[in-house]
Amino acid sequence: MTAAVTREIKTGSAKTPTGYRVYQYITDTLDSTQYHQETYVNKMKELTTYLLVETERKSQGPRSGSYLEFTFAESPESIIETLREDPQLDDVLYDELRTVVNAQVNR
């Protein structure tokens, strides 16, 4: 739920490491198969084909490395509302998700 990250930090974008950690939380909660970070990034980059997401490579300096930043074409709230219709996500507690996102953003 990389969209949840963009909603909480209100910048309209999410860094790869933060989005991936939230993704890990969701897959752990649902006890479902988890992609490696590289596959997660590739899946997110695929969304650029459909003009749903834009990616930009950024850097925090030589010691912090580089990362991709994802920006959604749609509002994060509308993406999350659409995802809430998926019965597989019924086990995800959205208040808890918000807490996890904020913990990862403030890391």
* Range 1-8 average pLDDT: 82
State the pTM of this model: 0.82
Segment 2-28 shows an average pLDDT of 86
Domain containing residue 94: CATH number? 1.10.10.10
Range of the domain at 6: 2-105
| Mode of pairing for the β-strands spanning 53-59 and 66-72 | antiparallel
Residue 22 has pLDDT above 80, yes or no: yes
State how far Cα 70 lies from the chain centre.
8
What's the whole-number average pLDDT of the chain?
A: 86
pLDDT in tens, 28-68: 988 999 999 999 999 999 999 999 899 999 887 777 788 89
d(CA 103, CA 101): 5
Q: What is the number of structural domains in the chain?
A: 1
